[in-house]
Amino acid sequence: MKLRILKEEAIDGALNKKILGCLQKAFPDGVLNFKESRYWHGSVPAWTVLLEEENSIIAHVGIVERSIKAGTDTIRIAGLQNVCVAPEHRGKNLSNMVVKASMDEAMRLNIDFGLLFCIKQIEKIYACGGWKTLHERTVVRVEADGREISIPEKNIVMYYPLVKKNFPEGNIHLQGNDW
Ligand SMILES: CC(C)(COP(=O)(O)OP(=O)(O)OC[C@H]1O[C@@H](n2cnc3c(N)ncnc32)[C@H](O)[C@@H]1OP(=O)(O)O)[C@@H](O)C(=O)NCCC(=O)NCCS
């Protein structure tokens, strides 16, 4: 297995297509979303972690870098986007391997926290990797036309301590769209 960390500029058309293929297989309900773009709600990852075996991608995570507001604090975060493991490779904790590598890289880049949104059923996967759930926080995202919308309450919000250890109190404003 080979682990690679690639800046967005280093992902050429052929590799983009290959990652899209991996995402389509991993998120069968979301095939339409991954026809041309990996960028959920237009949020572009700064870099991507790939785990490859025999020239195919078996695990992926994109990282969106952003300065956001939490309460009155401005913090720099590494947002997890499109975490996935190819269906035939699940159950081996490979998601933790790419996520951990992404957080090591974020630490090297002096980022304050990791931040992710997920469904309740997979909260445990991240919790096992050291992620902590933020309870009862309003999280506001900004649409392309400037409208501000709260993300659904059923979404679980989790952070990973990096340069900073205690996530600031208060509501979260993503200063852009979610990822
Ligand atoms: C989530 C994912 C990356 C985890 O990969 P993994 O590290 O190999 O872990 P597994 O797939 O074995 O899942 C671990 C546990 O979570 C559960 N799980 C994973 N995805 C789930 C889902 N969408 N709904 C309900 N449970 C889920 C598994 O059933 C398993 O439960 P168990 O430990 O009780 O058997 C992988 O399942 C995947 O690619 N899913 C599709 C894409 C996705 O939902 N990504 C997350 C975006 S936040």
pLDDT for the residue numbered 36: 87
- Asked whether 66 and 176 are in contact (CB, 8 A), the reply is yes
Residue 32 predicted with pLDDT over 80: no
- Asked whether 142 and 154 are in contact (CB, 8 A), the reply is no
In whole angstroms, give the CA distance from residue 85 to residue 82. 10
Residue 132 predicted with pLDDT over 80: yes
Exposed, middle or buried by CB within 10 Å (0-12, 13-18, 19+), for 121?
A: exposed
Topology annotation, domain 2-87+94-173? Aminopeptidase (3.40.630)
Q: What is the residue with the minimal CA distance to atom 13 of ligand 1?
A: 91
Q: How far is the CA of 61 from the centre of ligand 1 (A)?
A: 14
Mutate to test the pocket of ligand 1, among 31, 81, 95 (most ligand atoms within 8 A of CB): 95
Q: How far is the CA of 13 from the centre of ligand 1 (A)?
A: 28
Give the chain as a 3 state SS string.
CEEEEEEHHHCCHHHHHHHHHHHHHHCHHHHHHHCCCCCHHHCCCCEEEEEEECCEEEEEEEEEEEEEEECCEEEEEEEEEEEEECHHHCCCCHHHHHHHHHHHHHHHCCCCEEEEEECHHHHHHHHHCCCEEECCCCEEEECCCCCEEECCCCCEEEEEECCCCCCCCCCEECCCCCC
Q: Which of the four pLDDT bands, split at 50, 70 and 90, describes residue 30?
A: confident
Lookup result for tokens 């052929």: 14
- Ligand 1 and 121: CB distance under 6 A: yes
Partnered with residue 84 across adjacent β-strands are 60
Q: Which residues contact 159 (CB under 8 A, 6 or more apart)?
A: 77, 113, 114, 115, 116, 131, 132, 134, 167
Rounded mean pLDDT, 148-159: 96
- Ligand 1 and 43: CB distance under 6 A: no
Q: Which of the four pLDDT bands, split at 50, 70 and 90, describes residue 138?
A: very high
Q: What is the pTM of this model?
A: 0.95
- Ligand 1 and 118: CB distance under 6 A: yes
Give the pair of three-digit tokens for residue 47.
């870099």
Average pLDDT over the chain reads 96
Rounded mean pLDDT, 24-40: 86
Q: What tens digit of pLDDT does each residue of 86-131 get?
A: 999 999 999 999 999 999 999 999 999 999 999 999 999 999 999 9
Q: How far is the CA of 145 from the centre of ligand 1 (A)?
A: 33
In whole angstroms, give the CA distance from residue 69 to residue 140. 10
Q: What tens digit of pLDDT does each residue of 11-21 get?
A: 999 999 999 99
Q: Which of the four pLDDT bands, split at 50, 70 and 90, describes residue 31?
A: low
Q: What is the residue with the minimal CA distance to atom 1 of ligand 1?
A: 84
Q: Given the CA of residue 117, which atom of ligand 1 is nearest to it?
A: 48
